[in-house]
Structure 1
Amino acid sequence: MTETTPYDADRARFTRQALARLVLCDDAVSVADGAAALVATENDPDTGPGGRVSQAFQLIELAERALAAAVIYERERGSSWAEIAQYMGLDAAEAEARFIPSLEGWNRAFDVPYRLDETGRKRIPQLPTAAYDPACACEHLDRWARLQRIGTEAVSSGLVMAAQEKEPSSTTP
């Protein structure tokens, strides 16, 4: 599957480190929004028995996904397994064993960025959405950060971008 997609050129402007950071940002927004949903009490009467537990449990699942994204980001920026493990109370081998499936999936998605659905006609991205369409992710995440009063370009301004190819200069006699 070597056909191009409309997002390939946008994605090429970003380093893998930047793409991993966008995925982490996107997952962090999901965690923040999930936690915020637990704050309001006005809809408690409309929530069935166990409903808030369900929301809190989903928050744990979102946090686990964000943790995996953080590990992928740290590996992309050159952190060792020992450096990552120290913050989780694990040794390097335990951290690697826990997160290597996520890292392998991330790496594989760059080789095969999409798969065909069961009909063979629709492409399904294998990269997380924020990495597959990073231009849209930057716009969305910067907007979210503005609304949260974190900063104007709090996400996109700090990304490590790929080196741009220089256009050959024309020499005019």
Structure 2
Amino acid sequence: MTETTPYDADRARFTRQALARLVLCDHATDVAEGAAGLVATENDPDTGPGGRVSQAFQLIELAERALASAVIYERERGSSWAEIAQYLELGPGEAEERFAAKLDGWNTAFDVPYRLDATGRKRIPQLPTAAYDPAWACDQLDRWASLQRIGIEAVSFGLVMAAPEEESPSVTP
């Protein structure tokens, strides 16, 4: 599939490290919002038996996804398996084995960015949304950070961007 999309040019402005960081930021907001949902008590009467346990369990799932994104980001920024493993209380080989499938999926998505749906007509992006459309992700994540009083442009400002391509000299007649 060699067709391009409008997102391809936007994505080219970002390094793989920056894209991985955007995915981590996106997953971190999911964790924060999931945790925030457990704070308010006013809707407790509307929640069925076990409902808060369900929310807390979903929070663990969201945190696991954020952890996998953090590992991918750390690998993209050059961290070794030994450096990552020390924070997971695992050996380097165990850490690599635990996250190998996620890292392989990440790497493969850059080589094969789309797959066709069951009809064979619609392309499905293989990258997480924040990496597939990073301009949108920056806007959304900066807005989220601003609303949380973390800071304006708290996400997009610190990203490692790709070096701009050198423009070819213009030819004058």
Instruction: Return the alpha-carbon distance in structure 1 between the equivalents of residues 170 and 55 of structure 2.
Output: 60
Partner of 1:101: 101
Partner of 2:37: 37
- Over residues 67-98 of structure 1, what are the superposed CA-to-partner deviations in whole Å (9 max), with x where a residue is unaligned? 00000000000000000000010010000000
- Over residues 85-116 of structure 1, what are the superposed CA-to-partner deviations in whole Å (9 max), with x where a residue is unaligned? 00010010000000010000000000111111
Partner of 2:79: 79
Residue 7 of structure 1 aligns to a residue in which SS? helix
Deviation at 1:142, TM superposition (A): 0.1
Partner of 1:118: 118
Question: Once superposed, which parts of structure 1, at least 4 consecutive aligned residues long, lie more than 2 Å away?
Answer: 168-172
Structure 2 segments unaligned to the other structure (5+ residues)? none
Matched, 1:164 2:164: yes
Letter in 1 for 2:38: L
- Over residues 109-140 of structure 1, what are the superposed CA-to-partner deviations in whole Å (9 max), with x where a residue is unaligned? 00111111010111111000000000000000
Instruction: Return the alpha-carbon distance in structure 2 between the equivalents of residues 169 and 157 of structure 1.
Output: 30
Residue 48 of structure 2 aligns to a residue in which SS? coil
Partner of 2:58: 58
Structure 1 segments unaligned to the other structure (5+ residues)? none
Deviation at 1:168, TM superposition (A): 3.3
- Over residues 23-45 of structure 1, what are the superposed CA-to-partner deviations in whole Å (9 max), with x where a residue is unaligned? 00000000000000000000000
Q: What is the number of equivalent residue pairs in this alignment?
A: 172
Residue 99 of structure 1 aligns to a residue in which SS? helix
